Structure 1
Amino acid sequence: MCHIFASQCPASYAFETRSIRLNGQSTSIRLEKIFWGVLETVAARQGMSVPKFISTLHSEVLAIRGEAPNFTSHLRCVCLVSLEGSLYAGAAACDTDGAAEAA
């Protein structure tokens, strides 16, 4: 099992920095490439570009929390929550299919 994780392509965890405007201010966000890929998927599901999704998310965090401490870590957590939700959604679909087959 560790081979699956240890043999991961180094390019997937190489850093990539992107410039984004958050609330009218230009900033840079540095994430591993694999997280940018997940954010692209999440943004597409929301019908947004990655910059628009991140900007909207940042605004919502500010509205809820009043600040966005360690926003880059928040983005990584968004990716994990999204992937975890996909796993649960897949499990629910399997449970539904299994129930239908059993009936």
Structure 2
Amino acid sequence: MKRKQKYYKNKRFEIARLIDMNFDDQTKFLTLTFKENIQDIDDANNEFKKFIRRLNYQTYHTKKAKLKYLATWEKQQRGAIHYHIILFTFSLYAF
């Protein structure tokens, strides 16, 4: 159990370091929720991947993955899955 705790503590530190090193005035934070009460993680991840592909295409006008982001999911009290995303070097003016 202690080894697991140390592992997750190190991962949290690595994520915080990534955010700190890449944070600037073009960093954006999003929370994505589904209209439907999606509780299956595979379904939610498929929809999330489609969202990221569409956002990448709309932003950079290419199918090549150029978005830089960190994302995590969690369940709401009602059981629905939602995502927290940090987008790096993301300009709203790209649209």
TM-score, normalised via structure 1 length: 0.27
Instruction: Select the structure with the greater relative contact order (CA < 8 A; seq sep ≥ 6).
Output: 2
Quick check: which one's helix share is greater?
Answer: 1
| Structure whose alpha-carbon radius of gyration is higher | 1
